[in-house]
A and B are shown apart, each in its own frame.
Chain A
Amino acid sequence: MVNPTSQEPSLEKLRNGDRAEFARLVDAYSTPIYRLGLRMLGNAQDAEDILQNTFLNALTHLPEFEGRSSLATWLYRIAANEALMSIRRRKPEVNLEDLQADDPDADWMPATFADWSNLPEAELLSEEGKKNLEAAIAGLPESLRLVFIMRDIEGLSIKETAGALGLTETNVKTRLLRARLHLREQLSSYYGEHLIREEKK
């Protein structure tokens, strides 16, 4: 679980309108929520809007929050909804619920088998490598990208991701597998070329 500060803010203090505690909550979660916005919308202005709307919403709805999920899961749920609403406004054709577990279109099946896993990190995460990685994440379908960001980038558990997105755990696992394989395929094409260049040297 992502928890950048040492201690989870107190729900009791937050409900009592303790502003210092709310400031602590904001500092604890603004970075992952901003990053989620950046990766879902692809630009800084939209990411900032999502960040602001998430905490404005949280402030409004804190009295109704019963604490059945963690504060983090609750905040991610608000942020995910904000991101999805923003995407829908921009791309109404995107359907985020259409990914069925038994989708026969197995376009996520591996097709590239270059083993680049032993390339040094400095090479994998060179400036160009990082740009490629971000582009590959941005290229994931929205319905897979949200799951991937929450689980693999921000470190939520399967259960927390399911709670934040209103999906079943099975559905989260299916989407996560496809996201990972999709991303692996993209990176394999890119780093595979590096391997070929290395071998020619």
Chain B
Amino acid sequence: MTDHAHMNCEALLGSLSEYIDGELSLELCREIEKHLAGCENCRVVLNTTRRTIDLVQSPAESVPVPDDVRERLFKRLNLDDYIKPNS
């Protein structure tokens, strides 16, 4: 990783999450983008961190509560009357 005059890699890492989440000021975003343009390792860290978050949010990763678990839950809560197919 490299050290630039305005922002070094460590400073970029410290702001990485907020940059990804779009929570930084325009000014700070520009500083980050200037650093990214000249630092391949930081670009890789940004790309792969974004992709990591995408993957865990993928619908393929989302599994609904199993029907038998739901049914036992409703019985435990004395909600037997409301056990119907889970839509």
- Listed in ascending order, the chain A residues whose CB lies under 8 Å from chain B are 19-20, 22-23, 26-27, 30-31, 34-35, 44, 48, 51-52, 55-56, 59, 109-110, 113-117, 121, 124-125, 130, 133, 137, 152-153, 155, 173, 176-177, 180-181, 183-184, 187-188
Contact = CB atoms under 8 A, between A and B. Distances in A.
B55 A34 contact: no
B55 A116 contact: no
A19 B56 contact: no
Q: Is the interface of A mostly helix, strand, loop or mixed?
A: helix
B73 A115 contact: no
A139 B42 CA distance: 24
Nearest to B18: A173
A188 B48 contact: yes
Given A19-B82, A110-B13, A48 B69 contact: yes
A180 B66 CA distance: 28
A180 B73 contact: no
Given A30-B65, A115-B47, A125-B55, A181 B77 contact: no
Q: Is the interface of B mostly helix, strand, loop or mixed?
A: helix
Interface residues of B, number: 40
22 contacts: A19-B82, A26-B73, A27-B70, A30-B65, A31-B64, A35-B62, A48-B69, A52-B76, A55-B73, A114-B48, A115-B44, A115-B48, A117-B50, A121-B60, A124-B51, A137-B56, A152-B53, A153-B61, A180-B16, A180-B20, A184-B48, A188-B48
Interface of B: 1, 13-14, 16-18, 20, 40-41, 43-45, 47-53, 55-58, 60-65, 69-70, 72-74, 76-77, 79, 81-82, 86
